């Protein structure tokens, strides 16, 4: 089969890596890809928002399956365009992708279908937002309705931060039309978990749980990023809670989306918070694989990913599909560029990847890398590389990822050294050892 993967991040590198191991995959294209992906696939100079060009390519090359990585092409209707041309595609169509593309849609949907989530008010002016803050109380959360590259969520913990958020969203309008409508939401505390399921529109196949770490600095300090690391399993969720999430959240969501005339096929990412350590609430839905959770999850997947993606694209999973996970943990440490998540440096020479890969249980997925004028590898994005470790226990998987992260070098490199630290503490308490 010929596969086209759309995207250029670590998530897409992990997807290409996993698909390249399928006995049924003969050729992979990636648009636009990155230098890591180029070792496994043919990269194309087509951007993720170039919907017609992507569909033209898939049609011309008789691509058997297009796999859409990021949210932007989903919300722009790439899946609809491919389906119009009767080309198989993995991912939700534009209407279904609104679960991620509009926070107002997803909040209204959750309310209608009684899916547990924090109470919120929809606001279109500063005055409405001030009223909502008075009703909901401080701390509270401000969320831009539309896509904002992961920057549209602001937690206001005290009155001064509320004032700053009001200015940002309503006076300065930094989110443009994505901030025409704003949710003011009750702040929930607890452990966050990424719960990803594959869906064919009706059935849900859960992937291994994961946890990502959004803040830039150790100790969960500093601004939010696209994700500075992840591990799988998430550790924080017991099997009973996972069943509850499927019954109370995932299945009602899939049924509700079908009822709304928006059947969801693709990867449904449920961003959960466990309030008081046990009650799962939905913080957000995403309509695609998480990044960097996908890296930690896919290195643990024993079986072929292709039949799952094909089944979802066809609207019917094969009844026998049931993922098998290695009895090993996966961890991913993101190496970032100097300045990230603010304006960052580019063009720094990267060395040490082969050395890192020579170690047992180490995987490196490229995100923001490029080839310099002399063909050598340089930094080209805020999140540069996802350095992953896999081992029998989470502690060792994390140690492998951190050790390999030290081996890779470029000027301005920074990464978190405490990814998974709390998870290890939880495991120690549970088992008397951090090794499980």
List contacts with ligand GLY (CB under 6 A).
212, 227, 286, 290-291, 293
Nearest to 182 by CA among 213, 143, 128, 151: 143
Residue closer to ligand GLY, measured from CB, 100 or 396:
100
If the CB atoms of residues 4 and 147 are measured against ligand GLY, the closer one turns out to be 147
CA distances from 180 to 108, 145, 176, 201, 402 (A): 16, 7, 7, 30, 41
Q: How far is the CB of 291 from ligand GLY (least distance, A)?
A: 5
| Three-state DSSP state, 306 | helix
Nearest CA-CA partner of 353 in 376, 380, 381: 376
CB 354 to ligand GLY: min, Å: 28
CA distance 99 to 114: 15
Long-range CB contacts for residues 160-169, cutoff 8 Å, separation at least 24: 162/133, 162/138, 166/126, 166/129, 166/130, 168/142, 169/129, 169/142, 169/144
Q: Which is nearer to ligand GLY, 131 or 215 (CB)?
A: 215
Q: Which residue has the tokens 């590389």?
A: 385
At closest approach, how far in Å is the CB of 283 from ligand GLY? 11
The DSSP call for residue 17 is: H
In the complex, what is the shortest distance from the CB of residue 192 to ligand GLY, in angstroms, rounded to a whole number?
10
Task: Provide, rounded to whole angstroms, the least separation between the CB of residue 418 and ligand GLY.
Answer: 17
Q: Which is nearer to ligand GLY, 310 or 336 (CB)?
A: 336
Looking at beta carbons only, is 50 or 293 nearer to ligand GLY? 293
**Non-local CB neighbours of 199 within 8 Å, separated by 6+ positions:** 205, 254, 264, 265, 266, 267, 268, 312
Which is closer to ligand GLY, CB of 98 or CB of 293? 293
**Residue number with CB closer to ligand GLY (20 or 224):** 224
Q: How far is the CB of 289 from ligand GLY (least distance, A)?
A: 7
Q: Which residue is nearest to ligand GLY (CB)?
A: 290
For residues 383 and 413, which CB has a smaller minimum distance to ligand GLY in the complex? 383
In the complex, least distance from residue 71 CB atom to ligand GLY, rounded to whole angstroms: 8
- Compute the least distance from the CB of residue 30 to ligand GLY, in Å: 19
Q: Give the count of beta carbons closer than 10 Å to the beta carbon of residue 175.
A: 21
Separation between Cα atoms, residue 66 and residue 309, nearest integer Å = 9
SS3 state at 190: strand
Nearest to 388 by CA among 410, 418, 357: 357
């Amino acid at each position: 089969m010929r596969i086209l993967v759309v995207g250029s991040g670590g998530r897409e590198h992990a997807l290409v890596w996993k698909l390249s191991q399928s006995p049924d995959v003969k050729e992979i294209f990636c648009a636009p890809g990155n230098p890591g992906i180029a070792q496994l696939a043919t990269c194309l100079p087509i951007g993720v928002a170039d919907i017609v060009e992507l569909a033209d390519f898939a049609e011309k090359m008789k691509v058997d399956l297009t796999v859409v990585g990021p949210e932007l092409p989903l919300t722009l209707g790439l899946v609809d365009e491919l389906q119009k041309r009767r080309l198989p595609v993995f991912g939700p169509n534009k209407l279904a992708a609104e679960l991620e593309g509009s926070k107002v849609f997803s909040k209204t949907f959750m309310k209608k279908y009684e899916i547990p989530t924090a109470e919120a008010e929809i606001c279109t002016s500063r005055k409405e937002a001030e009223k909502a803050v008075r009703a909901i109380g401080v701390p509270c959360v401000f969320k831009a309705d539309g896509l904002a590259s992961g920057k549209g969520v602001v937690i206001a913990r005290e009155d001064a931060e509320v004032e700053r958020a009001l200015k940002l969203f309503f006076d300065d309008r930094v989110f443009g039309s994505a901030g025409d409508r704003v949710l003011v939401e009750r702040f929930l505390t607890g452990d966050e978990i990424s719960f990803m399921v594959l869906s064919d529109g009706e059935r849900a196949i859960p992937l291994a749980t994961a946890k990502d770490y959004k803040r830039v600095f150790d100790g969960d300090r500093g601004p939010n990023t696209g994700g500075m690391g992840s591990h799988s399993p998430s550790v924080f969720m017991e099997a009973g809670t996972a069943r509850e999430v499927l019954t109370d959240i995932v299945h009602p969501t899939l049924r509700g989306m079908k009822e709304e005339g928006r059947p969801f096929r693709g990867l449904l990412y449920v961003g959960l918070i466990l309030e008081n350590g046990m009650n799962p609430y939905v913080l957000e839905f995403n309509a695609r694989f998480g990044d960097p959770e996908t890296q930690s999850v896919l290195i643990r997947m024993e079986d072929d990913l292709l039949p799952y993606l094909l089944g979802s694209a066809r609207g019917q999973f094969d009844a026998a599909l049931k993922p098998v996970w290695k009895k090993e943990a996966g961890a991913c440490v993101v190496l970032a560029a100097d300045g990230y998540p603010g304006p960052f440096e580019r063009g720094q020479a990267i060395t040490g990847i082969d050395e890192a890969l020579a170690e047992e249980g180490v995987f490196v997925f490229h995100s923001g890398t490029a080839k310099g004028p002399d063909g050598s590898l340089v930094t080209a994005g805020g999140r540069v590389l996802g350095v992953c470790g896999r081992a029998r226990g989470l502690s060792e998987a994390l140690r492998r990822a951190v050790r390999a992260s030290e081996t890779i070098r470029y000027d301005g490199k920074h990464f978190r050294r405490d990814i998974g630290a709390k998870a290890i503490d939880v495991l120690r308490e549970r088992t008397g050892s951090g090794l499980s």
